[in-house]
Structure 1
C-alpha cells in the first residue's frame, strides 16, 4: 500500500507500533500518500521490446522492396508514441503525492500535482471531521476531511480498501490528539 506513516516522538517504554504514543507527548503524525506504480523500469523495457518485435513482423513480408521504406516511418512513429506515452505516465505518477501533517494544534494537507501548482489546506484538528461515504455515490469508500469551511478529498488515487484502512487509522490519530 502506498501509504507511509511517520510518528514522532515515540513515548518511552511503549511497544513499537503505529499509534503507540502516550497522551500529551506532543506527537506529530506525518502521512505520505502516493499512487501505486505497477510497471517498473524492467516492465517498461519489456513492453517496448515486445511492441518493437510485433511491429517488425509485418515489415518482414516487405523486406527488400520499396514498400518497406514507406511503412518503416509509421512503425517507428508508433513505437515512439508508445514510449512517450508510457514515460510521461510514469513521470506523472511519480510526481503525484499527498502529504498530511497532524499535530495537536494543526492539520495540514499538501497535494503535489504533476502539471499544476501544489494545493494546500489546513485546519484545527479538533473541528475536523473524517467522513467515509461507503457506497453512496459513484466512488466507493470516498474519503473526505471537513474543516475550516471546506471539504477536502484524501487519497483519490488509492483503492477502496486502502481508503477504508486509511479512514480507520486517521480517525484513530485524530481521536488520540483530541
Structure 2
C-alpha cells in the first residue's frame, strides 16, 4: 500500500510539473493608459489569459519613459530569459541611455514551475537592449551611460536569480579641438 501511495504521488508530481511547463494555453493582452495631461502613455495593464479566459494574474506597470500613442510598440516579448526552455515574459517599460545610445528596457517575468506563476526578476530591468548568449547562458548589454562612458555588463543566472557577473566601463577620449 505504501509503495502504491508513493507511486501515485510520484505520478502526480510528474503530471503537475509537466502541466506547469506547458504554457501554450497562456496569452496576454496589453492595454496602454494615456495620461490626459500630456497625452502620453504612462502605464500599461497586462491581462493574463488561459485558454482565452482572463485570470487573476493581471498586473499593471508604470513606464520609465512615457511613450507617444502614435508609435507602435511590441509591449510583450515571450522569450526564455532564464535558459530553462520555458518561455518567459519581457514587458517593455521604457528607454534608458544617453544621446540615443542606450536601449529599450523591460521588466522580466520568469515562469516558476513550482508555483505556476510569473515572478518578477528585479535585476532584468537594469539591462538595456538585452543580448542573450544561449551557449554561455548569459545576458549582456553594451550602452552609453553618459557623455563619455560606455558600459559593458554581463549577467548570469545563479540558483534561479539573475546576478551581475561582470561590469566594465570604457571612457571615451575627448576629441581634439580644431579642424
What TM-score comes out, normalization by structure 1 length? 0.29
Which structure: greater strand fraction? Answer: 2
Which structure: greater helix fraction? Answer: 1
What TM-score comes out, normalization by structure 2 length? 0.29
